[in-house]
Amino acid sequence: MPDWRKLVADKLTGLRLPEAQKQEIVEELASHLEDTFEERRGSGLSDSAAMNAALNEVLDWHELRRRIAIAKREERPMNDRTRKLWLPALASVSAAVIFQAGLAFLSYRPEMLFRSHVSQWMYILWLIAQVACGAIGASLSRRAGGGWPARVGAAMTTSTILLTAMIAVAAISWVVRATGIWRPDFGSVDMDIFTRAIVTGVLIPGVALLLGALPFLRSPEGRAAA
Amino acid sequence: MRKRIRSKIARGSAELAILSLLSKQPLYGFEISKRIEEESGGALRFNLASLYPMLYELEKRGWIKGRWESNRAGRDRRYYCLTPAGKKQLAPLRREWRSFFQALDRLAEVSRA
C-alpha cells in the first residue's frame, strides 16, 4: 500500500496556506484515498487496481490545488459584504444623487421648500424617487444573496448618510460656538430648523426608502436556483 | 455560457446534497461521497477532487463545521456537521430547487417523459 500521506503532500506542494492548515488538508485527503483504496480492495479488486481507482479520484492535482487555495482563502466575508451591502448601497445612493442633480438642474433649490407650490411638488417628486432608490438598494442586495438586514441597510444608506452629515454639522457648530473658536455672523443653528431638516431630509425620505425596500425583504421563493 | 450554467447547476445541487445529508448526522468526507452515491442510486457521484473544495467553501461560508474525531476503528476523521447558519440556508435552498424542477417540468414535461 502506498504512503498516501506522502503522496498527497507531494502533490500539494506549492499550496500556499499556513503549514498547520496544509497538514490538516493533507491528512484529510490522504484518509479519503486510503478509504477508497480499502473499499475497492474489499470489493475484490487487486492491490494495483484498487490503487488506480484511488488515484483516479483526482485527475488534475494542479486544478485541485487551485480550488483548495481559493476555497480556503479568507476573503469571502469581505467580498460577501461588498456584494450584499456596499455595492447595492452605492447603487442606491448614486441613483438618489443622480435624481437630486436632475431636480437641481430643473431649478430645484432646498430653500424653496415650504415656500412655494412648485417646491412642494418637487419635494414630493423627490420622495417618490426615494422609493425607487430604496427598491434599487434592496433588490440588488437580495439578488446578491443578502439577508434582510443587508437589504434594509443598502436601501437606507442615503438617509443614514444625510442623518450622519446633519448630526456632524450640528455637533461641529455647537463645539465651535461653545469653545468660542469662531463666532459666525449668521447666528446659531435654530433647533426648530434642525428638527425640520431631520424630519423632511431624513425621516420622511427614510420612510420612502423603506417603502421601496419592502417588496424585496421577502425571500425569493419563486425563483429558480440556477 | 452553457458550461457556466451547467457548472452553476452542478454546484448548487452539490451544496443541497451535502447540506441535506449533514442535516441528518455529522459525516466525514468519504462517508459523504458514499452516501450521496448510494442515496442518489448512483446518479450523483462526488470524487475527492469535487468534494473537498466544496466542503471547504461551505465551511468558509459558515454553513458547515469540521472537527477531528476518532471513528469506531480508532482512526482520526474530520467530521462535518451543519451549523445553525447552514440549517437556515437549507430550507430556502430546498424551496429554490423545488421550484426550479417544477418550472423545468412544466416546460419540458420531464416527469412524464
Nearest neighbour of A58 by CB, restricted to B5, B48, B60: B48
Average pLDDT score over chain B: 85
Residue A85 located in a structural domain: yes
Domain ranges of chain B: 2-107
Mark whether A62 and A85 lie in a shared domain.
no
Mark whether A119 and A17 lie in a shared domain.
no
**Contact A51/A37 with Cβ under 8 angstroms?**
yes
* Amino acid, res. B55: L
pLDDT digits (tens, 9 = 90+) for A56-87: 999 999 999 999 999 988 765 567 788 889 99
**Host domain of residue A178:** 80-216
pLDDT digits (tens, 9 = 90+) for A120-150: 777 888 889 999 999 999 999 988 878 889 9
Mark whether A9 and A95 lie in a shared domain.
no
φ and ψ at residue A114, rounded to 5 degrees: 65, 10
The residues, any chain, with a CB within 8 Å of residue B42's CB and separated by 6 or more, are none
Comparison of pLDDT for B101 and A97, the residue scoring more = A97
10 Å CB burial of residue B48 (0-12, 13-18, 19+) is buried
Total domain count, chain A: 2
Mark whether A59 and A131 lie in a shared domain.
no
Q: How far apart are CA A28 and CA A24, in angstroms?
A: 6
Of A192, A197, A39, residue with least CA distance to A113: A197
The three three-digit cell numbers of residue A120, written as one number: 412642494
The three three-digit cell numbers of residue A84, written as one number: 450584499
Averaged pLDDT, B62-77: 87
SS3 state of residue B69: strand
SS3 state of residue B28: strand
Mark whether A135 and A84 lie in a shared domain.
yes
Q: Model-level pTM greater than 0.90?
A: no
Interchain contact A23–B (C-beta under 8 A): no
Interchain contact A32–B (C-beta under 8 A): yes
Mark whether A162 and A88 lie in a shared domain.
yes
pLDDT of A183: 67
pLDDT at position A222 over 50: no
Residue A222 located in a structural domain: no
- DSSP letter for each residue of A151-183: HHHHHTHHHHHHHHHHHHHHHHHHHHHHHTS--
Cα diameter, chain A:
96
Residue A92 located in a structural domain: yes
Mark whether A106 and A169 lie in a shared domain.
yes
The three three-digit cell numbers of residue A46, written as one number: 487487486
Average pLDDT score over chain A: 84
A interface test, pick of B3, B8, B52, B55 with most A CB neighbours within 10 Å: B52
Mark whether A17 and A91 lie in a shared domain.
no
φ and ψ at residue B24, rounded to 5 degrees: -85, -40
Mark whether A86 and A50 lie in a shared domain.
no
- Chain A residue nearest residue B55, CA to CA: A71
The three three-digit cell numbers of residue B65, written as one number: 463545521
Mark whether A91 and A67 lie in a shared domain.
no
CATH code of the domain made up of B2-107: 1.10.10.10
